[in-house]
Amino acid sequence: MTAPDLESLRLLVLVDELGSMGKAAATLGIAQPSASKRLATLERRLGLALIDRTRRGSALTPSGRVVCGWAQRVLGELDGLLTGAEALRTRRDAELRVAASMTIAEHLVPTWIGELRKSQPDLYVGLRVTNSVNVGELVRDGEVDIGFVESPSAPGGLATKRVATDRLLVVVAPSHPFARRRSLSIAELARERLVVREQGSGTRETLERALRHAGVGELAPLVELGSAAAVRGAVIAGTGPAVMSELAVAADIAEGRLVAVDVTDLDLRRTFRAVWPAGRKVIGPAAKLLAVAAA
C-alpha cells in the first residue's frame, strides 16, 4: 500500500470539520475538482470509502471518521516534529533558551512550544536536548532560561515545579521469555541484566532508586546506550529487556513490536519538573512556557 500524502490527510480532516468539500478546498487554496480527485485517490490507496457526497454537502463515512482520527494524530505529530526541529536549529540566538531531558524533549516540549507560539508566533525558541543531570548544569550556569527534567530528585540549587507525570514500563521483544509471563517479581527484574541509559539519565535514576527502595540490590546493566531511541532499537532487536517511558514505547506496544511486562509491587511512576535558578522569578517567555507546560 502506498502511503497517503499529508495534504490529502489535511483535506480529509477539513471536510470533517467544515462539512463541505468546497469549503475544505477553499481553505487549502485548491479547486474543488482537484480536492475531489485527491480524496478519491486517497480512498483508492486505502481501499476504503471515506466520504459520503450528497447535495447537502460531504460527510465522513464510519470508516472515514476512524481514518480522520488517525490523520489528526499524524498531522499533530508532524507539527511537533517541525516545531522541535526549528527549536533545535535556532538554539544559539534564541529569545527563549530551553533545555530538556530526552523523553520530555521528544514527546512534550514541541507541543508546549507550539502552544506558546500561538500567542507569540514570532518567538525565537532554542532547545538543548540532553540528560537530566546536564539540564540542571545548563540552568545553573545560565546557559538556558528554563529546563525540564525527569529525574526523581530535583537538581540541587534550583527551584522546581511539577509539569507532568509519567510511568516506566518493563519492555521486551515478543520473542523474549518474559513476553509469555503475566508478571515478574522485583527480585526477578533485579537479577536480569538490562539495556539501560547512561548515568545521569532520569529514567535510569528512577529505576535505580526504585530497586534500592525495594531492597533488591543494585542494577547490573547489560549494555548502556545514550538515547531512548537506541535503547528501544536494542530491545526490539532482542538484545534484552529495558525499562522505558510509557510515552516512548506506547506505539510499539500497540503495534506488537514490544511487550510490556508487569512487575509486582514496584512503583515506577515519576514526575516531570521544570527547573530554574533558586531565588529567581521566572519571567517573560520562560514564564509563559512554564504556564503552558503546567496547565
pLDDT tens figures, 231-279:
999 999 999 999 999 998 998 999 899 999 999 888 888 999 999 999 8
SS3 (DSSP) at 44? helix
Grid cell for residue 139:
540552568
Count of Cβ atoms closer than 10 Å to residue 214 Cβ:
17
Domains located in the chain, CATH noted: 6-73 (1.10.10.10), 75-164+272-294 (3.40.190.10), 167-269 (3.40.190.290)
Q: How confident is the model at residue 1 (pLDDT cuts 50, 70, 90)?
A: low
Position 294 scores a pLDDT of: 93
Between CA 121 and CA 116 the distance in angstroms is 8
Position 179 scores a pLDDT of: 92
Is the pLDDT higher at 194 or at 16?
194
pLDDT for residue 283 is more than 70: yes
* pTM for this predicted structure: 0.66
pLDDT for residue 102 is more than 60: yes
CB 47 within 8 A of CB 39: no
CA distances from 58 to 14, 30, 73, 156 (A): 11, 17, 22, 58
pLDDT for residue 200 is more than 90: no
Highest mean pLDDT among 28-32, 69-73, 159-163: 159-163
SS3 (DSSP) at 51? strand
Question: Could you tell me which residues are beta bridge partners of residue 47?
Answer: none
Position 266 scores a pLDDT of: 84
Position 81 scores a pLDDT of: 82
- The dihedral through the CA atoms of 8, 59, 77, 230 has a sign that is negative
Place of cell 535505580: 208
Q: What backbone torsions phi and psi does residue 271 show, to the nearest 5 degrees?
A: -115, 135
Q: How confident is the model at residue 166 (pLDDT cuts 50, 70, 90)?
A: very high
Position 161 scores a pLDDT of: 94
Return the closest-CA partner of residue 158 out of 292, 273, 269. Answer: 273
With a pLDDT cut of 90, the percent of the chain lying above it is 33
